[in-house]
Amino acid sequence: MITTKASLSDAMTERETRNRRLALEAAAESIVLLENDGVLPLAPCPVALYGAGAAYTINGGSGSGEVNVRHAVSVLEGLENAGYTILTKDWIDRYDAIWKVGKEAFLRENRKKLKLSVKVLADLMAAEYRYPAGDRLTEKDLADTGTCLYMLSRQSGEGHDRKDEPGSFQLDETEIHNIRFCAAHYAQFVLVINTGSVIDLSPLDGIAGIRAVVYMNQLGMEGGNALASVLSGAKTPCGKLAVSWPKTYEDVPFGSEFAKPDETHAAYKEGIYVGYRYFDSFGVSPRYPFGYGKSYTSFAVQTESVSRKGDAVTVSARVTNTGSAACREIVQVYASCPQADMDREYQRLVAFGKTGLLAPDEAETLTLSFSLSALSCYDEAAKETILEAGSHLVRVGQSSRDTQAVAVIRIDSRIVLSRHNALFPAQPPVTELKSSVAVPAYENLPVITVPSDLFPTKVYDYNEPQEVLSGSASEKLATLNTQNHIRFCVGTGLFGEQAGFRVPGAVGHTTTAYIDRGIPNIELCDGPAGLRLQRRSTRDRNGKIRPVDTSISLYEFLPKLLTKFFLGNPEKEPVLYQYVTGFPVAAALAQSWDTDLVYRIGQAVSAEMTAFGVKVWLAPALNLVRNPLCGRNYEYYSEDPLLSGKLAAAITCGVQETPGNCVTVKHFAANNQEENRYFVSSDLDERTLRELYLKGFEIVVKEARPRALMTAYNKINGTYCAESHALCTDILRTEWGFTGAVMTDWLSTGKDRANEAEAIKAGVDLIMPGGKKPLAALTEAAKDDPSLQQALRNTCSRVLRLILD
């Protein structure tokens, strides 16, 4: 008998209304005002609205990160809700027709490629319809108003990266023409950018009359209302960039080598110099710096004190609203470490905070703390995490390029925080950059000293025994043999058995084979911008559940004859409903710099998990934004590991506060491109790996104790992440103390991919989505391999704990 918690009613619940309100708050909080000569805010008035995203506002990226909501508010609708009159409905209708013709042609073209092969299906799933720019505007399209908004939109997503070409990273010729045309004809012209990641705005430099630029990002189901609230001034913009915007792609270090088709090695030649760490250390001016954002008001930030207690440094900063609109302000603390023995970045973010809503003239003191270990670096030759001797400058400000030096932390001699094994040897070393901008000397700053015996050196025992189960879980484990262990460690497959408890739209299910022994299956669902479920499904007489609205775009490519077979018929069978909330994508949420808000989103997602019976949420994703072209940047928070880690920790706490619900931090690790993602090796120095690509994971594991983690598709220095004992055990469990379950990313094991037995031995607990092939492979491999049998017992114990907790 299949059971489900999907509802038989499509009535709007109180939870849905509450979460929608939170989605609106989060969306408005995340918008970044890039330019404004005073034209904004603009009271509701007649408006000319153009651009792909007017009615087809892009709410989130594509692929597994999509969220299927009851209704998403477009910019057109949001502006009308706020009282603006849209005068260009004809243009918008014409665009609608162009969009539909283009989409049909795109589907036709792709249907020709349809074949029953994993590669073809994966390619199709990744195939993406690029929104057309629409017609070139001419005089006849002009509306009788002085106010105009142009929506510049881009879709991107899983399975492919963007390209440095028109229509993708660059503006295309029609967009440039239309923006120029609007800027010339409308006195109050505002450009809105509706993309999940950076694009090349350099063509704007030659266009006069762009009065304001708003970075909307991709804001989920309330995007249109949120944008309208910022444009009208009902909400004063307070978001700040979580990535640097280069002037053009040429300014991205080693950009020309990024994600080359069929390239099986991606050398991270820039090393630690990613994002602002590059721009600031090499004297390259970005178009917009990390941490930047304007507002309708202004703030003064005055550092009141910097002090040290134990290993914690605390900065007190008094923030005063010196302008005329009520708003919140984000304060950022950076540190410049001495450039002596090790090559160091010019500065790194070490703490941040956000005030409450401050009325004009109102002030608040923010207390921002960081541990001295935030100043550490990894000395690869010595295999030590160290604090270097010398002066560490602390600066406080409102963006990475707008700070004041406020104190010096002086460390007299090198301090070894921890000793490690060499876990990821890269042969030969990969980093090619050495910083070229020295940190200027500062005088007359308060000096904070650090006793050299403050930190006992930590030494790890990499042979630590695996932890053991207790209580009923351990009793259950005692009744299971190797074959049972294998069943627990392998999911039921992509289109797995329909039995046990089901969440329509779930992408992963643990085994249903032991329900009669009191061990239920659990359901795993995607994120990160909400839960990816099927909105509507049917259930036939035998209890079989079929989608009505599918949660994967692959179905679009199937011929009608086939979809009839896969899809349920809502006319004939009872319909099951699951209405979830589409929150802003992670890249947008990061612009809020608001850990409390993100924590509340975690709580809201958790309430939906409970409502529909999802136990494991496949989010947050916290890969670093290494290059602006990565297709999945919209799912990731930032180019900075501290910001990423703190936000991921906040959402994790929010979700896991409800007993039984848990997150899955992903994709562990260095999964920074989509091209060739199943085969590519991210080649990088252990120092870069530890200081950047693992740092966010370390923060979330240590601060929020996520109960599950997903490995990445790629290899690191030649070893598949799923096969890496260094990653899945030595770093994760031994060094960081992770006690949860590790799962593979979907379809990352098998022929020409990671080996299941090696993965289990490395410390992976769940092979996902699983199915017959991995079951058979593990059964065969375990026959004569006692060490694999022991590893299976350990992994099974961790899966059991995940299920039974």
Residues within the interface to ligand BGC (CB under 6 A): 64, 158, 507, 526, 618, 666, 745-746
Cβ at position 529, least distance to ligand BGC in Å: 12
Cβ at position 532, least distance to ligand BGC in Å: 8
Q: What angle do CA 220, 226, 230 make, to 5 degrees?
A: 145
Pairing between strand 681-683 and 545-547?
Answer: unpaired
From the centroid of its chain, how far is CA 424?
25
Sheet containing strand 715-716, edge to edge, reads 265-267, 681-683, 715-716, 719-720
**Beta-bridge partner residues of 577:** 7, 536
Cβ at position 68, least distance to ligand BGC in Å: 13
If the CB atoms of residues 117 and 427 are measured against ligand BGC, the closer one turns out to be 117
Cβ at position 609, least distance to ligand BGC in Å: 15
DSSP annotation of 466: P
Cβ at position 549, least distance to ligand BGC in Å: 17
Cβ at position 652, least distance to ligand BGC in Å: 16
Collect all residues with Cβ–Cβ distance below 8 Å to 499 and sequence separation of at least 6.
2, 512, 515, 521
If the CB atoms of residues 255 and 505 are measured against ligand BGC, the closer one turns out to be 505
The Cα 253–Cα 267 span in angstroms is 12
If the CB atoms of residues 148 and 618 are measured against ligand BGC, the closer one turns out to be 618
CA separation, residue 128 to residues 65, 94, 153, 779 (Å)? 14, 22, 14, 38
If the CB atoms of residues 577 and 746 are measured against ligand BGC, the closer one turns out to be 746
Cβ at position 390, least distance to ligand BGC in Å: 41
DSSP annotation of 422: -
The Cα 5–Cα 402 span in angstroms is 51
Are the C-beta atoms of 50 and 223 separated by less than 8 Å?
Answer: no
Collect all residues with Cβ–Cβ distance below 8 Å to 505 and sequence separation of at least 6.
68, 525, 532, 533, 534, 537, 547, 551, 578
Cβ at position 709, least distance to ligand BGC in Å: 12
If the CB atoms of residues 64 and 656 are measured against ligand BGC, the closer one turns out to be 64
Q: CA nearest 179: which of 189, 165, 187, 169?
A: 189
- Which amino acid, 35? E
Collect all residues with Cβ–Cβ distance below 8 Å to 243 and sequence separation of at least 6.
197, 198, 275, 290, 587, 625, 628, 633, 638, 639
Cβ at position 205, least distance to ligand BGC in Å: 37
Cβ neighbour number for residue 136 with a 10 Å cutoff: 12
If the CB atoms of residues 594 and 745 are measured against ligand BGC, the closer one turns out to be 745
Q: Which residue in the block uniquely carries the two structure tokens 């597994």?
A: 64
Q: What is the 3-state secondary structure (H, E, C) of 518-551?
A: CCCCCEEEECCCCCECCCEEEECCCCCEEECCCC
* C-alpha atoms less than 13 angstroms from C-alpha of 221 in its C-beta half-sphere: 22
Cβ at position 632, least distance to ligand BGC in Å: 8
Are the C-beta atoms of 242 and 643 separated by less than 8 Å?
Answer: yes
Collect all residues with Cβ–Cβ distance below 8 Å to 11 and sequence separation of at least 6.
none
If the CB atoms of residues 225 and 676 are measured against ligand BGC, the closer one turns out to be 676
Q: Residue 195: which H helix or E strand, with range? A: none
SS3 at position 717: coil
Cβ at position 630, least distance to ligand BGC in Å: 12
Cβ at position 764, least distance to ligand BGC in Å: 15
If the CB atoms of residues 212 and 625 are measured against ligand BGC, the closer one turns out to be 625
If the CB atoms of residues 501 and 746 are measured against ligand BGC, the closer one turns out to be 746
Cβ at position 615, least distance to ligand BGC in Å: 15
Give the burial class of 56: count Cβ atoms within 10 A of its Cβ; 0-12 exposed, 13-18 middle, 19 or more buried: buried
Q: Which residue in the block uniquely carries the two structure tokens 């973010």?
A: 349
Cβ at position 531, least distance to ligand BGC in Å: 12
If the CB atoms of residues 280 and 745 are measured against ligand BGC, the closer one turns out to be 745
The Cα 369–Cα 417 span in angstroms is 19
If the CB atoms of residues 693 and 746 are measured against ligand BGC, the closer one turns out to be 746
If the CB atoms of residues 287 and 666 are measured against ligand BGC, the closer one turns out to be 666
Cβ at position 242, least distance to ligand BGC in Å: 20
The Cα 633–Cα 205 span in angstroms is 25
If the CB atoms of residues 519 and 727 are measured against ligand BGC, the closer one turns out to be 727
If the CB atoms of residues 450 and 799 are measured against ligand BGC, the closer one turns out to be 799
If the CB atoms of residues 293 and 620 are measured against ligand BGC, the closer one turns out to be 620
If the CB atoms of residues 384 and 745 are measured against ligand BGC, the closer one turns out to be 745
Cβ at position 106, least distance to ligand BGC in Å: 21
CA separation, residue 360 to residues 84, 298, 319, 324, 664 (Å)? 27, 9, 11, 5, 42
